[in-house]
Amino acid sequence: MKYFIAPHNDDETLFGSFSIQQHSPIVIVVYDGYLQGARGESVTFSNRRLETREAVRILGASVRFLGFDDRTDTDPCRLVSALSEFKDGSMVWYPEVETGGHHQHNLVGKVCREIFRPAVSMRYLTYTSEGKSCSGKEVACSTEEIIRKWKALGCYASQIDIPNCRPHFLRDQREYINDVR
């Protein structure tokens, strides 16, 4: 089995759609989005799940949701327990732990680094407080894969409409991974 571990809905499309299209892993979404609704934005976790299902379908994969609450679930032991179910992966993509990176991306990356054998993992880059990470090896893609990525990004209307999320959809759409370990 191949798995792509995405901390949040939309991370798989923003940071790994080319790898997903090329390798067809099962996408595992760790956190459901409750935080935005709690801030008064008209976004629910069920909206986010629907958007993710459609985006992942466009990318040619399937998705599974772990259901962690993005407001409160920060216990590394619970994450280890939930993510250990996927130790059978022949290839696993997970977020790189990045200086200045999103705290939940880094937490998922740290837990995955503990769980998965280095020989089967690919660490993808997300964004830091300075913007999208553009270091590491660029993932090559075809014109068709670029078009599918844009179609999948378009599924996330709830995120594109939020001013602090919108820039992530407009930034450099290239994707980067660090060495296979």
Poorest-pLDDT segment among 47-51, 91-95, 158-162:
158-162
Evaluate whether 96 touches 7 at the Cβ level (below 8 Å).
no
Pick the more confident residue, 121 or 61: 61
pTM equals 0.92
Q: Which domain holds residue 162?
A: 2-177
**CATH number of the structural domain spanning residue 98:** 3.40.50.10320
3-class DSSP state of 97: coil
C-alpha to C-alpha distances, 46 to 52, 74, 132, 155, 169, nearest whole angstrom: 10, 21, 27, 14, 21
Q: Which of 164, 166, 156 is nearest to 59 (CA)?
A: 156
Question: For the chain, what is the domain count?
Answer: 1
C-alpha to C-alpha distances, 13 to 38, 49, 52, 145, nearest whole angstrom: 24, 13, 9, 11
- Model confidence at 90: pLDDT above 70: yes
* Residue 67: CB atoms within 10 Å: 13
Q: Could you report the per-residue pLDDT of 93-147, keeping only the tens digit for each? A: 999 999 999 999 999 999 999 998 766 788 998 987 777 777 889 999 999 999 9
Q: Classify the C-alpha dihedral 69-70-75-80 as positive or negative.
A: positive
* Token duo for residue 163: 């001013």
pLDDT of residue 159: 87
Q: Across all residues in the chain, what is the average pLDDT? A: 89
- Model confidence at 4: pLDDT above 90: yes
Most confident of 60-64, 71-75, 89-93, 115-119: 60-64
Pick the more confident residue, 85 or 118: 85
User: Is residue 39 very low, low, confident or very high in pLDDT (cuts 50, 70, 90)?
Assistant: low
